């Protein structure tokens, strides 16, 4: 007797259903923005009933916050992977991490619109889950940049105290965010390569690290 090749039905676990809803939320956010991310639209993309969403999450805001965390973790992981792939040279690792902000998957206006919507949620309600997610993910990114910057400075013979390193980290990531926002508001000003080059040149001058601009 010939065995059936039809895959056996498997009931999704609670974790898998939550991931399905989060992925659908991200897809809707990228397409329609925060204002257009309705419970009905998310449910349609996920292929479930709206009631299932409220079964696994306390409401739309909780699901949006989960999507924020997922996107932030994905971006951070991509940046870290780029720095690791750059090899053992500390300056190259720092350049790779910063340069990731200008990759096609990051330099995307839909992503920028979603991201600024998240920031707006965090600003308007400092006690919200979105604000907590923003704080946690920003802290993680700054900590990693601090590590990369410390190693890069030591590799070129610069010895600076911890307070100075933390100050420089703020400047480095503020520049990256600023370039990202500037591009989003007017993409005609520069493309990815030019944006990356401008950023490296400014950082090289500020950090007294000429090899950053090479």
pLDDT of residue 98: 96
pLDDT of residue 79: 94
Exposed/middle/buried for residue 104 (C-beta within 10 Å: 0-12, 13-18, 19+): exposed
First to last CA, the chain: 67
How far apart are the C-alpha atoms of 162 and 202, rounded to whole Å?
22
Q: What is the DSSP letter of 4?
A: P
How far apart are the C-alpha atoms of 200 and 202, rounded to whole Å?
5
Average pLDDT per run of 10 along the chain, which is 214 residues long? 47 79 89 85 88 82 88 92 96 96 89 85 84 91 96 93 94 94 93 95 94 87
Q: How many CB atoms lie within 10 A of CB 21?
A: 23
Distances (CA, A) of 62 to 18, 53, 72, 128: 11, 10, 15, 9
pTM for the full model? 0.83
Asked if residue 22 lies in contact with residue 70, where contact means CB atoms within 8 angstroms, the answer is: yes
The CATH fold of domain 69-213: Tetracycline Repressor; domain 2 (1.10.357)
The CATH fold of domain 12-57: Arc Repressor Mutant, subunit A (1.10.10)
**Where are the chain's structural domains?**
12-57, 69-213
Residues 6+ apart with CB under 8 A from 198: 179, 190
pLDDT in tens, 99-116: 999 998 889 888 888 888
């Amino acid at each position: 007797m010939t065995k059936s090749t039809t895959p056996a039905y498997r009931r999704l676990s609670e974790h898998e259903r939550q991931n399905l809803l989060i992925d659908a939320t991200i897809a809707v956010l990228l397409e329609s923005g925060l204002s257009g991310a309705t419970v009905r639209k998310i449910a349609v993309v996920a292929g479930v009933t709206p009631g299932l969403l409220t079964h696994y999450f306390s409401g739309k805001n909780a699901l949006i916050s989960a999507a924020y965390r997922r996107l932030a973790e994905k971006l951070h992981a991509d940046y870290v992977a780029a720095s690791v792939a750059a090899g053992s040279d500390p300056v190259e690792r720092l350049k790779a991490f910063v340069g990731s902000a200008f990759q096609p998957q990051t330099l995307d206006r839909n992503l920028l619109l979603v991201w600024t919507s998240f920031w707006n949620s965090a600003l308007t309600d400092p006690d919200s889950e979105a604000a907590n997610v923003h704080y946690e993910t920003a802290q993680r990114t700054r900590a990693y940049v601090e590590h990369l910057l410390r190693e890069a400075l030591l590799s070129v013979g610069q010895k600076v105290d911890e307070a100075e390193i933390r100050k420089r980290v703020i400047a480095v990531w503020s520049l990256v965010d600023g370039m990202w926002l500037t591009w989003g508001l007017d993409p005609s000003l520069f493309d990815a390569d030019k944006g990356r080059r401008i950023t490296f040149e400014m950082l090289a001058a500020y950090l007294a690290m000429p090899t950053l601009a090479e």
